[in-house]
Structure formats: structure tokens, C-alpha cells
Structure 1
Amino acid sequence: MTRSAWIVVLAAALSVSLALGIRQTFGLFLLPLGAEHGITATAFGLSVAIHNLLWGIGQPITGAMADKYGAGRVALAGAGFYAAGLLLIAAYPSALTLFLGIGILTGIGVACAGSGTVLSAVARAVPPEQRGNALGLASAGGSFGQAAMVPLAMSGIGAYGTQIALVMLASTLVLALFIAPKLEWRRGTPLGAAPVGLSGLPDLARRTLANKGFALLTTGFFACGFQLAFLTAHLPAHLSLCGLPASLGATTLMLVGLFNIPGSWLCGRLANTVQPEKALGVIYLIRTVAIALFASTVPTEWGAMVFASVMGFVWLGTIPLTSAAIARRFGVADLGALYGLCFFSHQVGGFLGAGVGAVLVDVNGNYDAFWPVMVLVGLAAVAVNWAVRAPARVATA
């Protein structure tokens, strides 16, 4: 890759580190916000659920804007929304500000600055034969943020409380001022065809969803959001309810981030050599088997850490594979918008995973009834992705 392409990959990794790393800490705040400010698990879980849903609704829009005007500008605006959401809760902690801050503002922020927007810039910066590797490197680099933000949030909560911890997380978003201009500040000459932009998004959605392979890929992505949103929001609380140390929740989230680094890189490499949909089916199968084993055994500290390590290895590997699968079918001119359309299904799953889990723990006091549903959804995703046929002709533009 050229020097300019490496700069885009690095900037994308840093943007993903901030956007996904911060939201990875949300589950650490569930019990402390209840203890400090009386915010219920249902209010917290529904706020995270709205965050996921709004992220999904906004992703096609922000992706189309990045395709048209440059991912860097969109990502910088997203960092502003993100910081505003965190600071609102820090200043006025309540169920209402949680809904506005996490549910709406950070939902918009991660849609602008997260992987769905910035990875489209990576795909446009490299030639097709290096695309999978570059997407994997950017996703793997973004995992450093997941590993780094968790101890930052945990130390802030333990030493100063939830409000200062939220301010600490918001302050890291200042880095976006230096990252975004290096990402893709302006779109250059369109590759193959001009991007459709917002006005052409409805027609683009109709045409691409009529493609059976893309429709199946989108359907399978539901399971990814369903499983991961539940674990991000509720795994620390589940471990505490099982009588395990509160610090174990932070440890598991850190392990997810650390093991996701080699996992995302490997999945990006696989996108260059195998049909991405088949690899996605394998990822969903590994996740589902791990979930089934974890749910069917008595939770222990070592068992939780092994589970987090396995899940971490395949945590965000779906992102470079899904991006590569879309690029093979339709090229990269509208990759941000197309990934956003596919990602909407992911976030509907995230909405249900985070929201239903929150209601369930308030009603039953535990998550026992949810684990079998996680397994069934995962198995359905395996079947759907393995049913996808490779495109007759691989797009190059």
C-alpha cells in the first residue's frame, strides 16, 4: 500500500477505537448508575437499545454522506455528538438524560464516526487485491480502543464515580480533531461511478435489497447485533448477579478488545481468499457454540475469561468480511451507504438484544431465559450466510 493509504488505515483505526471503544464501556455503568442515581436497569437497557436502533437508522444516511462529501467530515461531526451525549449524562444524571445522551446523541455519534462510515474510506484508498487486508487492519487497530477504554472507565467509576468517568471518556474525543482530517476530508474522483448521495438512497436500497445475496447477508447481520449488544450491555451485570466479582465484568470486556485485534486482522485476510459469506457463517457458528457452552455451565472466573477471549476473537471480524462481501457485489463508490443498509438489520438486532435483556432482568432478576434465544438466533445466521451464493462477477470499482 502507498503511504497515503497507510495514513487512511491508521486514521480509520483510531476513529473506530474512539467510537466503538467508548460504547464498549456502557455495560460497566449499569449497576453503578443504579446505586448512585437510582436509574433502573430497564431505563439503562432501553437507552442502550435506542442507541443501537438510532445507530442503525443513521448508518445508511451517514454512509451516503461520507460517500459524497468525505468520511473525515462526517466522523468529526459524530465526535461532537458523542461528546455532547456523554457530558449531558455527567452533568444531569437521570433516566431522561440517559435516554437523550446514550440513546440519541451517542447513537448519532457512533453512526458518524464508527466503522460503517470510516471503513468505506479505507476501501476506496486501496486497490481491490489489498482491500480485505486493509479493512482487517483498520478493524484490528480499532480494537485497541476497546481494550483501552474499559480500564479507563472502570478506574474512573471506582475512584471518582460515574459522572467523572463519563467526563473522562468524553475528553478522549478531542483526538478526533487530529484524526478526521487524515481520514478522507474530501471525496476525490469517483471510482467507476459517482456516489448516489442522500437523494438516491431510497432507489439504491430497492435495487440492492432485490439482490438475493445481499438480502441474505443483511438478514444474517441481525444475529451479530442481537448477540453483541446483549453481551456489551449485560455481561458485566450477569456476572455480578451470579456472585462473581464486579471487576470481572471489566476484565471480560478488556479481553474481548484484546482478542479482537488478531481476530479482526485474520478475518480481513480471509476476505481476500475465501467467499466472505462462508467465513461469516463460521464466525456465527463459533459464537453460538461458545454462548451455548457458557450458558449451560456454572459461571466461574476462568470460564468467563475463556468465554470473553473466544468471543473477542470473532467479535468484530464480521465487519471487514461484510464490507468485503458488499464491495465484491457492488464496488466501493457507494460502500458507506450499502454497508449502512446492511447494518440497519444489525442494529435492529442490537435494539432487541439490549432492550429485551434489560426488561428481563428487571422482571425475573436474571438473564436465564435469554441464553437459549441467543443460541437459536445464532444458528439461523449460520444457515442464512451459508445459503448465499458467490456473485457471478466480482465488482472492481
Structure 2
Amino acid sequence: MNATTTSAADAKLSMTRVLLCGAMVVTTSMGIRHGFGLWLQPITMERGWTRETFSFAIAVQNLCWGLAGPLAGMVADRFGAFRVLLAGSLLYALGLLGMAASASGWAFTATAGVLMGVAQAGTTYAIVYGVIGRNIAAEKRSWAMGVAAAAGSFGQFLMVPVENWLIGHAGWQNALFVLAAVALVIMPLAVGLRERPQQGGPAHGARQSIGSALREAFGYRSFQLLMAGYFVCGFQLVFIGVHMPSYLKDRGLSPQVATVALALIGLFNVFGTYAAGSLGEKVPKRYLLSGIYALRVLAMIAFLSVPVSPMTVYLFAAMMGFLWLSTVPPTNAVVAQIFGVQHMSMLGGFVFLSHQVGSFLGVWLGGKLYDATGSYDIVWWLAVALGVMAALVNLPVREGAIERHAAAA
């Protein structure tokens, strides 16, 4: 082993440290945001807003999260995740405080939408997965990503009942103040993900420029297909996550049913994401992704075809929870497998941008079409149709490392 290789190896963080701190960061950031649907009715009722007003702000949040993701990823790839996580934690807290204080729809969009969207770009999967990719061996990478995603899922399971309790006992504004303090916990956790400078550049070949990496990725068919599938993932999940409580209340069910359903999604998501990360080491990831989208379609059709009751809601939540973020480990592992880890946070950010464009349309159309028709039915069936498309577009994805010519490098 030469001096450059030895130095690079010494610079890596331990797997235990990366997984522990990374999992806690994702648990905190994803746990807080998973319960935002619980605020839809108390905020709109007190402020006198329509559901579209709230939905539009959360849609902007998802879009800004996606737009800021590639930039946050570039900074994290170049300077390390530590600085990005610090800034994201602070913005997260400020966004939650602004969400509580906003008295107009535009102010709510600026804080709950723009500010918090940028904050989430700097505190969630793309940033943490970049650290995992750079510090954990390739043969364990999909599994490690599954562990981090499972941690985010546990945060969803843990935080939804906590947030519901805070709203009920302290009021929706004070609940947001408490969550702002919780968001600052990401700062000390970021210290554990502070990477030491690596000497000598990548282990193989010259450093690839950002422009070259982007041209290569966006000109590659499999990258385009992964982005298309992730668009559908965002549309489905954010529509369900934000509008499920209101949908169930409209069908005559108590708010407690929605709280239990969201918590079940988080709980079963723990098992689903871990299983997806583990299976990604054993079976082709394109087949795994296609199967996940197909099972989501079947779950939604079954849910829409039976009478709504607490039991059918809980069964649907458990099924969707198992499939909820199970696309995350295999999708990001394929990106690393094809293009390497040098620009992983940035490329993961671009794939996630597609996810967030879908999220924007899912949550906004949910509110828009509900106000126009008095029903969520159109959006439910649109989510089903898109799921069929996603199941098909993932099948042709090539998972092998991209061939690079020496002259191009």
C-alpha cells in the first residue's frame, strides 16, 4: 500500500461513528417533518386559511428542499458535511419559529416553505449518505444506507405521537417552539460526521470536475430513469403524509386514527428501509425498486376499494410504511455504484430534486383539487397511475460502473 492510499484510509471515519451520528441526524430531521400534516387543520382554522394555502407552503418546502439539495451536496462533497449540517440545523430552528409566528399565507410560505426546505436539504439523506459513501466500504454501503434510512423511519414513528401530544397539551404554536429547540440537537451530532481532509484525491484516477460529473450523469439513461422513478416516490409519499389526517377526518374518523396511522407508517418504515438496504446487497436493485413501486400500487388500490375504517387504515399504513422510504437505500446505492462516491452528495441531490418536484405536485394538487372538487379521489388515482409508470421505468436501469476513458478523465 503506497503512502497516498494509507493516508486516505487513515482519514476515514469509523463505521460505528458514521452510522450512529448519521442515524441520529436523520432521525431528528425526518422525525420533525413527518408530522407536519397534524398542523394543517389547527393552523388553517385559526388563521382562516384554505387547505390550499397550507398545502402550497409545504409544496414549496419540498421544492426548495429539492432545489437546494444539489448545492448543499456540492458544498458537502467539497468541504465536508460538518459545515452544511451546522447551517441546516440553524435554518431548521429558524424555520419552525417562523412557521409559528406567520400571520399571512405568504409569510407562512417563506418560513415553512422556503426556509425550512433549504434547512432540510442540509440535514437529511443526501448529506449523510455522502459521508457513508466516502467512509464505508462498497460491499457494506447499501446495508449502511438502509440503517440510516431505518433511523429516519424510527424518528417518524417516535415524533408523530410526541408532536400530536404537544399540539394537544401546549397548543400548535408552542409545539413548534419545542421542535425548534429539538432541531438544534443536529449541531453537536454534526461533530461526529466531521471528516478529516483526505490527501491525494480519489483512490483511483484524477479528480472529476463538477461540470464533467453533471454532463456524464445527465447524459446517462439510467440516471434519467432513476430520477423519473424518484419523482413518483415524492408525489405519493408527501400527498399521503400531509393529506392523510384531513382525508380520514373527512371520512368521519377521529384525529387519533390519523395519528396512529402516521406512527405506523414510521414504525413499519424502520423494517422496510432496513430490509431494502440489506436486499440491495443480494438482488439487482432495479428489480427491488420496481417491486416496491408495484406493491405501493396494489396497496393503494386495495385501500380505495374497501370501506374506510380504523382497521383498514391501520393495515394500509403498515403496508405503505414498509414501502415508504424503502426506495432510498437502493436508489442512492445505484448512484454510487454507477458514478462512484466523489460527487455522491451532489448527484444524490439532483436525484432527490426530482423526488421533490413530485412532492410539490403531490401536496399542492392534493389541496388544489380538494378545494375544487371537495374530494381527494382524483389525486389518489393519479398516484396509482404514476406508481405503475415508476415500476416500469426502473426495470431497464443499468447498475454497473460507468465506463470512463482516460482521455475524458
TM-score over 0.5 for the alignment?
A: yes
Do structure 1's residue 87 and structure 2's residue 97 form an aligned pair?
yes
Distance 1:188 1:241 in 2: 56
Structure 1: segments with no counterpart, 5+ residues: none
Do structure 1's residue 24 and structure 2's residue 34 form an aligned pair?
yes
Instruction: Sort the Cα spacing of 1:393 and 1:42 in 2 relative to 1 into closer, same or farther, 3 A.
Output: closer
Q: Match for 1:300 among 306, 309, 328? A: 309
- CA shift, 1:111, in A, is 0.3
Q: Match for 2:339 among 330, 345, 358? A: 330
- CA shift, 1:60, in A, is 0.8
Q: Match for 2:272 among 263, 277, 283? A: 263
- CA shift, 1:392, in A, is 6.2
Instruction: Report if aligned partners of 2:213, 2:343 keep a CA contact under 8 Å in 1.
Output: no
Instruction: Sort the Cα spacing of 1:195 and 1:30 in 2 relative to 1 into closer, same or farther, 3 A.
Output: farther
Instruction: Sort the Cα spacing of 1:360 and 1:195 in 2 relative to 1 into closer, same or farther, 3 A.
Output: farther
Q: For residues 37-48 of structure 1, what are the structure 2 equivalents within 5 Å?
A: 37-48=47-58
Residues 345-368 of structure 1: per-residue CA shift (max 9 Å, x gap) = 111100100011111112222201
SS at match of 1:140: helix
| Structure 1 equivalent of residue 202 of structure 2 | 191
- CA shift, 1:187, in A, is 4.7
Distance 2:211 2:320 in 1: 35
SS at match of 2:122: helix
Distance 1:282 1:230 in 2: 21
- CA shift, 1:148, in A, is 1.5
Q: Larger Rg: 1 or 2? A: 2
- CA shift, 1:160, in A, is 2.1
Instruction: Report if aligned partners of 1:139, 1:264 keep a CA contact under 8 Å in 2.
Output: yes
Distance 2:312 2:392 in 1: 28
Distance 2:276 2:207 in 1: 27
Instruction: Sort the Cα spacing of 1:195 and 1:269 in 2 relative to 1 into closer, same or farther, 3 A.
Output: farther
| Structure 1 equivalent of residue 378 of structure 2 | 369
Instruction: Sort the Cα spacing of 1:348 and 1:17 in 2 relative to 1 into closer, same or farther, 3 A.
Output: same
- CA shift, 1:15, in A, is 1.0
Q: For residues 126-275 of structure 1, what are the structure 2 equivalents within 5 Å?
A: 126-189=136-199, 190-192=201-203, 200-275=209-284
Instruction: Sort the Cα spacing of 1:258 and 1:195 in 2 relative to 1 into closer, same or farther, 3 A.
Output: farther
Distance 2:80 2:207 in 1: 11
Distance 2:268 2:206 in 1: 38
Q: Match for 1:386 among 354, 373, 395? A: 395
Q: For residues 66-145 of structure 1, what are the structure 2 equivalents within 5 Å?
A: 66-145=76-155
Instruction: Report if aligned partners of 2:210, 2:343 keep a CA contact under 8 Å in 1.
Output: no
Residues 93-134 of structure 1: per-residue CA shift (max 9 Å, x gap) = 432222011111110011000111111101211111111111
- CA shift, 1:3, in A, is 7.9
Distance 2:210 2:29 in 1: 25
Do structure 1's residue 340 and structure 2's residue 358 form an aligned pair?
no
**What one-letter code is carried by the residue in structure 2 that aligns with 1:206?**
R
Distance 1:237 1:201 in 2: 43
| Structure 2 equivalent of residue 6 of structure 1 | 16
Instruction: Report if aligned partners of 2:69, 2:349 keep a CA contact under 8 Å in 1.
Output: yes
SS at match of 1:183: coil
SS at match of 1:101: helix
Distance 1:280 1:216 in 2: 11
Residues 284-336 of structure 1: per-residue CA shift (max 9 Å, x gap) = 11111101111222211011111111111111111111111011101111110
Instruction: Sort the Cα spacing of 1:151 and 1:94 in 2 relative to 1 into closer, same or farther, 3 A.
Output: farther
Distance 1:346 1:221 in 2: 5
- CA shift, 1:203, in A, is 4.1
Instruction: Report if aligned partners of 1:328, 1:394 keep a CA contact under 8 Å in 2.
Output: no
Instruction: Sort the Cα spacing of 1:194 and 1:336 in 2 relative to 1 into closer, same or farther, 3 A.
Output: farther
Instruction: Report if aligned partners of 1:12, 1:142 keep a CA contact under 8 Å in 2.
Output: no
Instruction: Sort the Cα spacing of 1:42 and 1:127 in 2 relative to 1 into closer, same or farther, 3 A.
Output: same
| Structure 1 equivalent of residue 326 of structure 2 | 317
Instruction: Sort the Cα spacing of 1:187 and 1:354 in 2 relative to 1 into closer, same or farther, 3 A.
Output: farther
**TM-score of the pair, normalised by structure 1:** 0.94
Do structure 1's residue 57 and structure 2's residue 70 form an aligned pair?
no
Instruction: Report if aligned partners of 2:339, 2:402 keep a CA contact under 8 Å in 1.
Output: no
Segment of structure 1 superposing worse, 378-387 or 4-13: 4-13
Instruction: Sort the Cα spacing of 1:362 and 1:186 in 2 relative to 1 into closer, same or farther, 3 A.
Output: farther
**Percent identity among equivalent residues?**
38
Instruction: Sort the Cα spacing of 1:106 and 1:326 in 2 relative to 1 into closer, same or farther, 3 A.
Output: same
Residues 6-49 of structure 1: per-residue CA shift (max 9 Å, x gap) = 11111111111111111111111111112222222111000011
**What one-letter code is carried by the residue in structure 2 that aligns with 1:127?**
A
Distance 2:19 2:67 in 1: 26
Distance 1:316 1:204 in 2: 26
**TM-score of the pair, normalised by structure 2:** 0.92
RMSD over aligned Cα, in angstroms? Answer: 1.8
